[in-house]
Amino acid sequence: MLRVNNNLSRILIAKFFGTFGSEMLSFAIGLYILWRTVSTLGMGISLVTGPIVSLCITPFVGYAVDTYSHKKIMIASQLGTIVFLLLFALFFIEFPNIYFVELGGIDYVACSF
């Protein structure tokens, strides 16, 4: 039987909660799009976009991880995530009307929940 050390346990727990939180956020965004647009197509596209992008950039990320320093890659990815989330928030606050792209010619419907 394999003996699991303390660091491996911490890594597995952190990975679980990180993935769980990310997937919950993705699903919540999909539900929000469904609520705002009443378009199941829009929700489906929002849920499929992440895995497709991940599939497309996996070869490039694999090459970068094999070639460059892991510490520098982690720092750059965290800084990039912070910068792009801040830009997204500023863009959303500044231009809330153009946040949702019309999907398939479906007009936005104001839902009253």
Element holding 2 (H helix, E strand)? none
CB 36 within 8 A of CB 98: no
User: Which comes out higher in pLDDT, residue 5 or 20?
Assistant: 20
Kindly indicate the confidence band of residue 2, based on its pLDDT and cuts at 50, 70 and 90. Answer: low
Closest by CA position to 100, among listed 83, 92, 86: 92
Q: Report the C-alpha gap between 42 and 31 in whole angstroms.
A: 10
| pLDDT tops 90 at residue 6 | no
- What's the count of helices (H) and strands (E) in the chain, helices before strands? 3, 0
- When the pLDDT of each residue in the chain is averaged and rounded to a whole number, the result is 79
Is residue 71 within 8 A of residue 80, CB to CB? The reply is no
